[in-house]
């Protein structure tokens, strides 16, 4: 079943909305239009779990009142925003896509929520996600799967699939997600929108329910690179409430050079030109490389030999951190509490609570993480994974000596069908091109690269751009350059030509 078109030109960008509202008001009308789109379309794709209509209208009224008084509400004035279900907000409930936290009302706002609202944005709803951000398809959600707006029989990607789908469907021009191993960039690619994962430490994680604390990062979904730059400028910067947030100045990410392509050195790893990439993914990548080169960029071959080691490394480190972070949900301190017979041992309460509250994928990862951290296996698995992590970071450091950015496909394939990947390993391999970005702590972004054909379906695919840590200005420069060169209507290069 095919969904409605996402980027049909009828939906203004966040930048345009904010400019109009700051000049003449109208935030109430903007919010009403987006609420109407949600009301008409959300039931079909399940992107949003909660909609805050009354609160959003009150907030819009306040923004319009500021404009009427001659005040500036901020760079995101009147822009409707949706937030992922693992980002704390006093609006509604923060459930992390899990029965464990169903009904949990946060007593505080995440730093990113505070900063968005201070910039004039209007939180309009909360998006569905894979439970505790563990998944690549948003099928592992206690509140039902999310469907891809381009084809309702297919996944939107994950774990931030609801945020990607909400932007692609036109419900909001901006949504926030989190990225632990590709959870912003992969769904952005499969839904045909822009998804930016900032460098580790660029954006505060205060108020983000932790999955992998050394990997998690909050970032935006938007329809344009300029909007991603606008949002990043709002949410980035040090935060005394997050000790991992870096004290690094935030560059002017909105500044664009006169010639964004000429002089760029773009690295293309041989490991990204895999024979098992979908033919249209391979063809579109070759077309992108040729177009960049034709407009003055230098294409540099680079070696990233540890690409395949990234999946194994990630699925040791991330579950290990998850097993520690989720240990607090035990039926005593936080979350759901099971009912057990009076006088039952405490271990029975723990087991019943966690069996009822956590879904199968979360249970699988907790058990894996507990195993690799256990006595006798710590050195063989976890410590070894940390050594490989260091080598992956060093490999990127060497590559960035010869290039400004690395480009490749965001995903090996377009969106797959709901229920198609029942084998966990095949699901994990969806993130083969994205996990190393998190492991190395660098920044990455997916921008629309074209479409792939799957029978009668026309499915988005993404161009993945990676830059050194805290080089988001270069990342956005490359993204804007591709946006200027890219013809969204152009077909992919034929698979045979891509193999040259």
Active site residues: 84, 159, 183
Residue with tokens 């013809």: 487
Q: What angle do CA 66, 14, 129 make, to 5 degrees?
A: 110
Cα–Cα distance list, 285 to 20, 368, 460 (Å): 36, 35, 13
At 265, give phi and psi (nearest 5°).
Answer: -110, 115
CA dihedral 119, 12, 288, 270 (to 10 degrees): 40
Angle between the N-to-C axes of helices 14-24 and 53-68, in degrees from 0 to 180, rounded to the nearest 10: 50
DSSP string of 54-105, one letter each residue: HHHHHHHHHHHHHHHTT----TTTT-EEEEETTB--SSS---TTSGGGTT--
CB 464 within 8 A of CB 407: yes
Q: Which two tokens stand for residue 182?
A: 């590709």
Round to whole Å and give the CA distance between 172 and 240: 30
3-state secondary structure of 34: helix
């Amino acid at each position: 079943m095919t969904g409605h078109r996402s980027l049909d030109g009828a939906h203004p960008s966040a930048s345009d909305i904010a400019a109009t509202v700051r000049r003449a008001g109208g935030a109430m009308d903007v919010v009403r239009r987006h609420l109407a789109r949600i009301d008409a379309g959300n039931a079909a794709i399940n992107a949003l779990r909660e909609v805050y209509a009354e609160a959003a209208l009150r907030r819009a009224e306040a923004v319009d009142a500021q404009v009427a008084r001659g005040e500036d509400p901020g760079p995101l004035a009147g822009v409707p925003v949706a937030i992922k279900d693992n980002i704390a907000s006093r609006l509604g409930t923060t459930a992390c896509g899990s029965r464990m936290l169903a009904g949990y009302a946060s007593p505080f706002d995440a730093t990113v929520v505070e900063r968005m609202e201070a910039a004039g944005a209007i939180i309009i709803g909360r998006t569905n996600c894979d439970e505790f951000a563990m998944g690549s398809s948003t099928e592992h959600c206690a509140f039902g799967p999310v469907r891809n707006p381009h084809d309702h029989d297919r996944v939107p990607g994950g774990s931030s699939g609801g945020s990607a789908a909400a932007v692609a469907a036109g419900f909001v021009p901006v949504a926030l997600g989190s990225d632990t191993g590709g959870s912003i960039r992969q769904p952005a690619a499969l839904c045909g929108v822009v998804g930016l994962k900032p460098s580790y430490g660029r954006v505060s994680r205060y108020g983000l329910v932790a999955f992998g604390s050394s990997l998690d990062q909050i970032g935006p979904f938007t329809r344009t690179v300029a909007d991603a730059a606008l949002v990043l400028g709002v949410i980035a910067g040090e935060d005394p409430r997050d000790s991992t947030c870096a004290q690094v100045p935030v560059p002017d990410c909105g500044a664009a050079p006169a010639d964004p392509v000429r002089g760029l050195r773009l690295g293309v790893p041989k490991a990204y030109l895999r024979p098992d990439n979908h033919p249209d993914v391979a063809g579109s990548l070759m077309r992108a490389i040729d177009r960049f080169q034709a407009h003055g960029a230098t294409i540099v071959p680079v070696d990233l030999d540890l690409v395949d080691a990234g999946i194994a490394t990630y699925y040791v480190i991330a579950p290990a951190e998850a097993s520690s972070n989720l240990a607090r949900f035990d039926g005593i301190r936080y979350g759901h509490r099971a009912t057990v017979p009076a006088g039952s041992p405490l271990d029975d309460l723990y087991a019943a609570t966690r069996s009822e509250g956590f879904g199968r994928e979360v249970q699988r990862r907790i058990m894996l993480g507990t195993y690799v951290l256990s006595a006798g296996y710590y050195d063989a698995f976890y410590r070894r994974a940390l050594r490989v992590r260091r080598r992956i970071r060093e490999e990127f450091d060497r590559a960035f000596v010869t290039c400004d950015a690395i480009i490749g496909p965001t995903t090996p394939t377009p969106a797959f069908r709901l229920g198609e990947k029942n084998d966990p390993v095949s699901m994990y391999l969806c993130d083969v091109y994205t996990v190393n970005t998190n492991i190395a702590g660098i920044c990455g972004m997916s921008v629309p690269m074209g479409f792939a054909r799957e029978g009668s379906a026309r499915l988005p695919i993404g161009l993945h751009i990676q830059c050194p840590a805290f080089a988001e200005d270069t990342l956005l420069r490359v993204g804007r350059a591709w946006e200027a060169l890219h013809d969204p209507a152009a077909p992919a290069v034929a698979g045979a030509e891509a193999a040259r």
